[in-house]
Structure 1
Amino acid sequence: MKKTKITAIVALAITVSVSALLIVFHSAANGKPTVNQKRNTLNSVNMAKKERKVPTDKPKDMQKNKLSGISMNKERNMPVLLHNLSSKRGIPILLYHHILKRSENTFTRDPAVINLEAFEEQMKYLYDLKYHIATMAELESYLHGGEVPNKTVVISFDDGLKTNYIYAYPILKKYNFRAINFLITGRLAQKPVPFQPEKLQYLSWPEVDAMRDVFEYGSHTNALHDKVLGFPGLIAEPDQVILNDLTISKNLLKTNFFAYPFGAFNDRAIRLLKLAGYQYAFTTIPVDARFGDNPYTIGRIAIYPNTDLDQFIKIVQTIK
């Protein structure tokens, strides 16, 4: 009887082991990452920092951004370094999301929502100090060894929110600034809707077209700015799902530029971006863009509600 029980237990253990192997094999064959692969993908930021020789330790006092998934360091003191091809400082690429008047901002705990008054102050500073706001073509040239003025920054927006049209666009146009907006194309409306500041609203295609004198457009995926079982869609979905999504968004926008949702990426995501025809991809790693950067791990510096003007000046100051 004991021998029979032992034999049954051994048989059960073998069955469980074989089943587990089949699950892993099935996941790999379908292009969907296993649990271990998913864990590995979360090291993408560390991978990029190692590539740029940036310390991997997370700064203290980090908070998660509810709107976009980027991380926030409440007390960032950016270094003030020289800016040119031979210097340690490159081009700061500023990252914005949502802009509201102070009086109508109900998203006060969301670090991706800044007040209109602060945005106006920051843009006026760049204008008064005669900063050059680079286009994507100028940034592309710089990354390959081209020259840009010392006082150069890039302005970028993620998500394609309606306040980019209501508030950001008139200010940028007033100062004759250019910017790039990374759109979630699947969330764009076919026609404009009335503005409701208490809601998170997205742009419409007519509004996108109306801003082309100021904004260039890049992809923030078509419908993968979501999470699957806690993992960003760009990381968790099968290869073909991701490739199809990237292709749809690229064809709609006719762009070579991409920004990673939630700042998350890995080797597989980069490979699929290349297959879809994208040439440049932007992270949320707070480092400047520099000559010789990997074009698929370009850093950007997020601007937060508590970024005061002194901190902003340190972020954009490219010469001593």
Structure 2
Amino acid sequence: MKVKWKKIKYFGFRHPKLLKMIALGAFTLAVAFILLVINALPVNLPAIQQKTSDSETIKWVDFDVPYSLLEKTMYMDIETYETENHLNWIELLAYLGAKYGGNFKNYKEKDLKALVERLNQGEPIEIIAKDLKLYNYYKEAYTAVLGGFLGEFMIQVPVDSKEQGNAINSENAETNESGTETDGNVMWQSKYGLKAFSPIAQGYWYNDFDDFGAGRSYGYNRKHFGHDLMIGIGTPIIAVESGIVEATGWNQYGGWRIGIRSFDKKRYYYYAHLRKDRPYAADLYVGKAVKAGDVIGYSGRTGYSVKENVNNIDTPHLHIGMQLIFDESLKDSPNQIWVDMYAITRLLSKNKSPVFQSEETKEYYRKYQFSEPSYYLENNPDKESKEKASAALLASAAPEGSIPLPIIMYHGIMKNNSINSKFFVSEKTFENDLKYLQENHYTPIHIKDLIHYVDQGTPLPEHPVIITFDDGYYNNYLYAYPLLKKYNMKAVISIIGNVTDKSSEINDNNAQYSYLTWDQLREMADSGLIEIQNHTYDMHENNGRGRQGSLKKQGESEEDYAQALQADVGMLQSKITEMTGQTPTAFTYPFGFVKDNSKSILLEDIGFRATLTCYERINYVTRDPDSLYRLKRILRPPGSSSEEFFRTIAPAHTLP
């Protein structure tokens, strides 16, 4: 039987209904694929793009460094600090990140060993990484994540147990043996190490797992951009890093929460699901500056409700998140950058803040005070934040029997603000500062007054202060010296020898760029108001081509370094003595660069009794001669009134 096939037009390829079905199916598949991709990403698609040039803002950071490598590189950094070849952990991690494209599943220990070997041979990291196109990206990104974790700090420790406090610190930590009373005898220790704290107080335990990016369904389907630590209700919550409180109050997702911005403005820490009824530390408020290790609140299970103060979270826990901010306009945008805190939280657990409970108020407080230098405050454009940050960092309990001593650091004084520099202030500003000191009963003193106090017990005035000028600019003589005479106030000028010699030869008295001459220095020294100190003869250079200030050069032996430092500084010592009749008793470190290998040379071989740094803290002077070593100074920048500036000192130095 012959079968005749009949063409059915309905299934023809060009049939309108079939074309419509195909188009609809293709569109549905495309939408489903896009939604699948978006759902797998923590942010909108544009946010995953790495920057393609150094001038472009970073849009996304996938911080996937495992805990073991974080720990290993951190110890490398700490153990090599103040050595000739300091291994910076962020640079090590950035190199490896660039090498692996951020995928640390490819990590091999031999790669780290090879990198360290080249660095120990004196090769700069910039040369080693020159062929890694994304090295600068990873360095900037990882600095944003880890930039506030390691550094120099001071912390109180029990006199009978120096092991308390920060468990991760350099071996050559210096100790101020003077103690004070805070729940027993304690003393201050200067350290380098992990200065960020676990968000959970010491003595409290938690359970966790890596839940970053897990799904959440309350309100809408979304990703979990944080890390949950399961703990009991009422556990004291600790500030991971020093910063400004930017947010408190109720959030329907996070319940009672706290947002704290680091002082360098790169990191925003988010603490959520705090305790019902009493979520915060008693003195916490928006705008307050807190220090790393402070108690800021208490854990709970609030949240998942539009209504305030509701416990809708099943399991008590702390949600801790870290948001990176490279562009302020993106802080509250859909393209926020959040970091997986799982490995970081484990690392921070090595440094837990001890706390105690007040019997009267039942509030918890940190047990041991903490202070850190304000390295990143100078370039903070937010004046209010800078003042609060300075106040928090400078405030610390004074050792018993010590004398609070602020040292103010100036450089140049101009008739007006014609020079745009953080190191120059106007003549009017300087005079207002002197008026403020006088009206508030400060008494400027010299370094020799400190030495007399230490050696002989000669009393210091009730509220001493030291006014210092670095480098020896001619404008110190032109503008500052007449005002010091007008108010009968003492000051210290640390000069650079070679520029003083040159200035004396050419005698070019220009207020903007000239330096003091020997004749001008002699005149000021003879007045009894000005004390001349040593700022090196010819080591005030930091151009990246040789020695950094008075530090030891790479590859330079200890013996050669000692000879070079003694020759340079000794030359200026002799010159100042010959030309002014004063013999300097203090050494001012160029650029504030300090290493311990210079201490014996400066104090024992040359005979200085004091050294001046650029660490911005209040000093606490005792009869111990070591209290005059590494004296801290507070830079006086332009742009703030005298009252605003000196308010940063008030927490540690209460005015009458």
> Shorter chain as normaliser: what TM range?
0.7 to 0.9
For 2:551 and 2:85, how far apart are their aligned partners in 1? 7
Tell me if 1:267 matches 2:596. Answer: yes
Tell me if 1:107 matches 2:452. Answer: no
SS of 1:117's partner is: helix
Partner of 2:513: 200
For 1:71 and 1:81, how far apart are their aligned partners in 2? 17
Q: Higher strand fraction: Structure 1 or Structure 2?
A: 2
SS of 2:551's partner is: helix
Partner of 1:15: none
Instruction: Please tell me whether the aligned partners of residues 474 and 510 of structure 2 are also in contact (alpha carbons under 8 angstroms).
Output: no
Match of 1:277 among 599, 607, 611: 607
Deviation at 1:295, TM superposition (A): 2.7
Greater Cα shift, 76-85 or 86-95: 76-85
Deviation at 1:182, TM superposition (A): 0.6
Instruction: Please tell me whether the aligned partners of residues 183 and 217 of structure 1 are also in contact (alpha carbons under 8 angstroms).
Output: yes
Deviation at 1:114, TM superposition (A): 1.0
For 2:514 and 2:463, how far apart are their aligned partners in 1? 34
For 1:123 and 1:165, how far apart are their aligned partners in 2? 16
Partner of 1:297: 630
CA 1:95 to 1:172, structure 2 compared with 1: closer, same or farther past 3 Å?
A: same
SS of 2:520's partner is: helix
> Which one has the largest radius of gyration?
2
Instruction: Please tell me whether the aligned partners of residues 255 and 278 of structure 1 are also in contact (alpha carbons under 8 angstroms).
Output: yes
Match of 2:538 among 204, 218, 223: 223
Match of 2:550 among 234, 240, 246: 234
CA 1:54 to 1:268, structure 2 compared with 1: closer, same or farther past 3 Å?
A: closer
CA 1:299 to 1:186, structure 2 compared with 1: closer, same or farther past 3 Å?
A: same
Partner of 2:323: none
Tell me if 1:176 matches 2:176. Answer: no
Deviation by residue 1:45-73 (Cα, 9 ceiling, x = unmatched): 827886454785787349xxxxxxx8653
Instruction: Please tell me whether the aligned partners of residues 535 and 590 of structure 2 are also in contact (alpha carbons under 8 angstroms).
Output: yes
SS of 2:449's partner is: helix
Instruction: Please tell me whether the aligned partners of residues 584 and 608 of structure 2 are also in contact (alpha carbons under 8 angstroms).
Output: yes
Q: Which AA in structure 2 matches 1:130?
A: H
For 1:116 and 1:249, how far apart are their aligned partners in 2? 29
Q: Higher helix fraction: Structure 1 or Structure 2?
A: 1
CA 1:242 to 1:81, structure 2 compared with 1: closer, same or farther past 3 Å?
A: closer
Q: Which AA in structure 2 matches 1:139?
A: L
Structure 2: 5+ residue stretches without partners: 1-81, 89-150, 156-172, 175-187, 197-241, 243-261, 266-374, 381-385, 554-560, 577-582
For 1:136 and 1:315, how far apart are their aligned partners in 2? 23
Partner of 1:127: 438
Partner of 2:405: 91
Q: How does 1:29-108 map to 2 (within 5 A)?
A: 37-39=84-86, 46=152, 51=174, 53=189, 60-61=263-264, 72-73=377-378, 74=380, 75-76=386-387, 77-78=390-391, 86=400, 90-102=404-416, 105-108=417-420
Tell me if 1:149 matches 2:352. Answer: no
Instruction: Please tell me whether the aligned partners of residues 82 and 88 of structure 1 are also in contact (alpha carbons under 8 angstroms).
Output: no
For 2:505 and 2:454, how far apart are their aligned partners in 1? 37
Partner of 1:250: 573
Deviation at 1:97, TM superposition (A): 0.3
For 1:245 and 1:174, how far apart are their aligned partners in 2? 36
Instruction: Please tell me whether the aligned partners of residues 90 and 289 of structure 1 are also in contact (alpha carbons under 8 angstroms).
Output: yes
Partner of 1:4: none
Tell me if 1:319 matches 2:654. Answer: yes
For 1:311 and 1:89, how far apart are their aligned partners in 2? 23
Instruction: Please tell me whether the aligned partners of residues 549 and 593 of structure 2 are also in contact (alpha carbons under 8 angstroms).
Output: no
Match of 2:617 among 282, 287, 310: 287
Deviation at 1:167, TM superposition (A): 0.4
CA 1:88 to 1:139, structure 2 compared with 1: closer, same or farther past 3 Å?
A: closer
For 1:205 and 1:302, how far apart are their aligned partners in 2? 26
Deviation by residue 1:109-166 (Cα, 9 ceiling, x = unmatched): x211111111111111112333211122222244566532332211111100011000
Instruction: Please tell me whether the aligned partners of residues 113 and 305 of structure 1 are also in contact (alpha carbons under 8 angstroms).
Output: yes
CA 1:53 to 1:239, structure 2 compared with 1: closer, same or farther past 3 Å?
A: same
CA 1:173 to 1:125, structure 2 compared with 1: closer, same or farther past 3 Å?
A: same
Deviation at 1:210, TM superposition (A): 1.2
CA 1:115 to 1:150, structure 2 compared with 1: closer, same or farther past 3 Å?
A: same
Q: Which AA in structure 2 matches 1:187?
A: V
Structure 1: 5+ residue stretches without partners: 1-34, 63-69
Greater Cα shift, 84-93 or 302-311: 84-93
Deviation by residue 1:207-245 (Cα, 9 ceiling, x = unmatched): 101111121110000000013536513113433222200
Instruction: Please tell me whether the aligned partners of residues 82 and 319 of structure 1 are also in contact (alpha carbons under 8 angstroms).
Output: no
Deviation at 1:250, TM superposition (A): 1.5
Deviation by residue 1:63-121 (Cα, 9 ceiling, x = unmatched): xxxxxxx865341433687998736871101110011122xx4421x211111111111
For 2:453 and 2:640, how far apart are their aligned partners in 1? 27
Q: Percent of counterpart pairs with the same letter?
A: 24
SS of 1:217's partner is: strand
